[in-house]
Amino acid sequence: MVKTEYEGKKILLVIAQEQFRDEECFVPKQLFEAAGVEVTVAAESTQSAKGMLGGTIKPDITISEARIDEFDAIVISGGSGSRKYLWDNKALQKLVKEADALKKVVSAICISPVVLARTGVLKGKESTVFKSPDTVRELEEHGAVYLDREVVVSGHVVTGRDPASADAFGKAILELLKKA
């Protein structure tokens, strides 16, 4: 087997149990796996999770079972279910804070950058989010510098705007993983 620059790299991909945005889960996941990165999917439970467009995936572990020291990056998928399942998830907030403290790649797309904002990870950092009054306000109220861009990389933090950004979001994460 040919060695890749991503050999041994591991990503924790967090999704909402219901109503995750399909493209924001499946597109980056496929990019990561094609590059040779090991992806572990986490949600509130290991029951099959359902996307907004009908896609399903069986999480490997629960969010509360995840240990950030086992991963090089945390990627939080978006979708309308993020507000219900992820924004205030204490176990996820703990993982994000730990990943940030260890300077691991910390990333979120669509409305999920709100999770990063609420943990303080985006304070003083340029970032993006799905453009709606409540999500932009959440970022700004927590000290983030909001930019209306497809993808924003700020140090070891990557944020993506929406489903159309999923490919560029995944590629930006892979670029940072090269240096991790």
What pLDDT, on a 0 to 100 scale, did the predictor assign at position 1?
Answer: 45
**What is the arithmetic mean of pLDDT over 29-44?**
98
Q: What CATH number does the domain containing 107 carry?
A: 3.40.50.880
Residue 33 has pLDDT above 70, yes or no: yes
User: 3-state secondary structure string, the chain?
Assistant: CCCCCCCCCEEEEECCCEEECHHHHHHHHHHHHHCCCEEEEEECCCCCEEECCCCEECCCEEHHHCCHHHCCEEEECCCCHHHHHCCCCHHHHHHHHHHHHCCCEEEEECCCHHHHHHCCCCCCCEECCCCCHHHHHHHHHCCCEECCCCEEEECCEEEECCHHHHHHHHHHHHHHHHHC
Residue labelled with tokens 């990557």? 158
Phi, psi of 96 (to 5 degrees): -65, -45
The residue-averaged pLDDT of 97-107 equals 98
Q: Which pLDDT tens digit goes with each residue over 44-81? A: 999 999 999 999 999 999 999 999 999 999 999 999 99
Q: What is the chain's mean pLDDT, rounded?
A: 97
> What is the pLDDT at residue 126?
98
Residue 177's pLDDT is: 96
Residue 59 forms part of a structural domain: yes
Whether the predicted pLDDT of 2 surpasses 60:
no
Cβ distance 138 to 128 under 8 Å?
Answer: no
Q: Does some domain include residue 5?
A: no
Region 22-31 average pLDDT: 98
Whether 3 maps to a domain, the answer reads: no
Indicate whether 169 pLDDT > 50. yes
Residue 1 lies in a domain: no
Q: What percent of the chain has pLDDT over 70?
A: 98
Side chain identity at residue 179, one-letter code: K
| Overall domain count for the chain | 1
Residue 4 domain-assigned? no
Give me the domain span that covers residue 78. 10-179
Question: What would the mean pLDDT of 85-108 be, rounded to a whole number?
Answer: 98
